[in-house]
């Protein structure tokens, strides 16, 4: 009888441990939330299914804050300006959410609308937004990887790889390192409008280019290429 009870206790403890592990590795589900005023319309994500309500609320505050910063920064709160933006998920993992906003912005008096690209990356384990310098060492070797990275056109009718690489080559390593250390911030301090995103196998980097080239260009570096540059052993983009 004692042996049977001991066996049952072991089974129950193992089951509890398994459930705890499953809860900690829940892949987030997101709903689309909309905001609009007379000048602007933006859709942004809202997390719905994390185990702890306070964690969900904290992360959703960051997502909403970034969306409202996009509206404000691109003139969506000023009369006669226009902003239209939507998001899409680059990565939904149990440790990391990466979303990108695309759309157009028109500022009163401007010659043409501007295509925008902004991202938000959330570390679910630390419940905060992360930027490029949190993840990788930004040095000459990193810049070399970027210069040789894969070009990813955001519009099939606008393929400007050669021109985008020429634009990148117009900056010195020192300039790019300075720009990248200010990345992922929706403000004028992010001079080159550098925004990063994560996919299942690559780190994506977007930066401003002239309007004739599409306003922004994106390149991707695989995680295997970046292996020696990661600042953390916790690979947020990996499963489990």
62 with 106, same domain? yes
Query: Tens digits of per-residue pLDDT, 79-88?
Result: 778 999 999 9
> Do 145 and 225 contact (CB within 8 A), yes or no?
yes
Q: What was the pLDDT predicted at 50?
A: 83
Q: What was the pLDDT predicted at 232?
A: 77
Query: Tens digits of per-residue pLDDT, 107-155?
Result: 888 888 999 999 999 999 999 999 999 999 999 999 999 999 999 999 8
Domain-located, residue 36: yes
Query: Tens digits of per-residue pLDDT, 166-219?
Result: 999 999 999 999 999 999 999 999 999 999 999 999 999 999 999 999 999 999
Q: What was the pLDDT predicted at 17?
A: 44
Domain-located, residue 112: yes
* Gap between the Cα atoms of 200 and 116, Å rounded: 23
141 with 228, same domain? yes
Show the domain range for 78: 29-130
In the chain, how many domains are there?
2
């Amino acid at each position: 009888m004692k042996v049977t009870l001991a066996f049952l206790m072991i089974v129950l403890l193992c089951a509890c441990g398994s459930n705890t592990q499953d809860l900690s590795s829940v892949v987030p589900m997101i709903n689309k939330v909309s905001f609009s005023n007379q000048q602007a319309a933006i859709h942004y994500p809202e997390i719905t299914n994390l185990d702890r309500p306070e964690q969900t609320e904290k992360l959703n505050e960051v997502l909403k804050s970034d969306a409202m910063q996009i509206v404000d920064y691109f003139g969506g709160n000023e009369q006669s300006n226009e902003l239209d933006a939507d998001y899409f998920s680059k990565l939904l993992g149990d440790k990391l959410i990466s979303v990108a906003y695309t759309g157009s912005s028109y500022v009163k008096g401007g010659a043409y609308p501007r295509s925008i690209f902004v991202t938000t990356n959330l570390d679910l384990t630390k419940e905060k937004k992360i930027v490029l310098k949190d993840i990788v060492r930004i040095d000459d070797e990193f810049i070399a990887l970027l210069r040789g990275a894969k070009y990813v056109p955001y519009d099939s009718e606008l393929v400007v790889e050669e021109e985008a690489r020429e634009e990148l080559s117009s900056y010195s390593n020192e300039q790019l390192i300075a720009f990248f250390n200010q990345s992922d911030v929706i403000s004028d301090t992010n001079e080159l409008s550098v925004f990063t995103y994560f996919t299942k196998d690559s780190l994506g980097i977007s930066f401003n280019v002239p309007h004739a080239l599409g306003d922004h260009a994106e390149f991707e570096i695989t995680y295997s290429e970046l292996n020696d540059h990661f600042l953390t052993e916790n690979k947020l983009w990996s499963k489990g």
